[in-house]
Chain A
Amino acid sequence: MTGPDVVFVLLGIVTIGSGVLVVTTRQLVHAALWLVVSFGALAAGYLVLTAEFVAWVQVLIYVGAVVVLLLFGIMLTRAPIGRAADLDSGNRWAALAVAVATGALLVTVVVIGFHGVRMELCDPGSSPCEASAGRAGVLGSSIFRTWVLPFEVLSVLLLAALIGAIVLSRGNGREAVE
């Protein structure tokens, strides 16, 4: 095992462990906080994979925006702050069976398919593979040259989602008058 192997496996254990805590904890707020740990470890994993810009975007949008939004949702639905007994539905064991089957199938397939494949990680300083490091400049020129049409479509989608969220949460006019 090389250095990146060890670091990535440790980060992967943290990611999956806190992910399991997200789906099993009995306290709603703790689930959101474990989600922060999971996303943070995943961002560090992106750094190990030399995808710097994706890592920082992950920290900014997921840890910064999405988790705060989820916490807002928890607070606005007046969730119990302490332990809540009824967070799991009745079909928990069926769900566990499906999840274990999914995980076993996926892991078997990818291990058979990709074991022994090594990927070369670029040293950001070295010149031959400088362009393939996931720096903001490289990714930015790629987005605004090759992928500019999907980028613009995405901005329309964001606008539609924004308007949709406003319309949904505004309610109909009568409630606003009351």
Chain B
Amino acid sequence: MTLHLVYPVVVAALLFAVGVYGVLARRNAILVLMSVELMLNAVNLNLVAFDISLRDALHGGQVLTLFTIVIAAAEVGLGLAIVLLAYRNRQSIDIDALRTLGEETELGEEAVK
């Protein structure tokens, strides 16, 4: 049984593009975290596809995928703790509104609106 390598790789590329759109276009912090998860999954699919395709004797691709999944779980845990802290302090998780650490530029707040 054979499979074209290009199918998993193209699916991974499109999934990554969807994740990029989500990170840039969403303003709710939890939705941004979900989009980051989509991008991480695209990378995982690439790792698994090339591991199977190249017949890695050490299974580096699949093992690295497991490691990435664990790191993603830790990242979501920490990210949600930060989001909840921001919500507790400001009653809002609107990313566009969290500008306390931002530099003052000539564009200012109007450019964001």
A143 contacts the other chain (CB 8 A): yes
Q: Which residues of A contact B19 (CB under 8 A)?
A: 19, 23
Nearest CB of chain A from residue B39's CB, rounded to whole Å:
10
* Chain B CB within 10 A, most for which of A15, A32, A171: A15
The interface size of chain B toward A, counting residues with CB under 8 Å, comes to 74
Interface size class of A (residues with CB under 8 A): 35 or more
Asked if residues B38 and A51 are in contact (CB atoms below 8 Å), the reply is no
- If A2-B1, A66-B76, A138-B59 touch, whether A168 touches B10 (CB-CB below 8 Å) is no
- If A70-B33, A157-B71, A169-B84 touch, whether A90 touches B113 (CB-CB below 8 Å) is yes
Asked if residues A107 and B52 are in contact (CB atoms below 8 Å), the reply is no
Main secondary structure of the interface of A (DSSP, over half): helix
Closest residue on chain B to residue A2 by CB atoms: B2
Q: Which residues of A contact B112 (CB under 8 A)?
A: 90
Nearest CB of chain A from residue B83's CB, rounded to whole Å:
6
A87 contacts the other chain (CB 8 A): yes
B74 contacts the other chain (CB 8 A): yes
Asked if residues B11 and A45 are in contact (CB atoms below 8 Å), the reply is yes
Residues of B within 8 A of A (CB): 1-11, 13-22, 24-28, 30-31, 33-35, 37-38, 41, 44-45, 48-49, 51-53, 55, 58-60, 62-63, 65-67, 69-78, 80-85, 87-88, 93-96, 112-113
21 A-B pairs with C-beta separation under 8 A: A4-B2, A5-B3, A15-B11, A23-B34, A31-B31, A42-B45, A46-B45, A49-B8, A61-B69, A70-B34, A73-B84, A77-B30, A95-B20, A107-B14, A120-B2, A139-B63, A147-B60, A154-B70, A161-B74, A161-B75, A162-B74
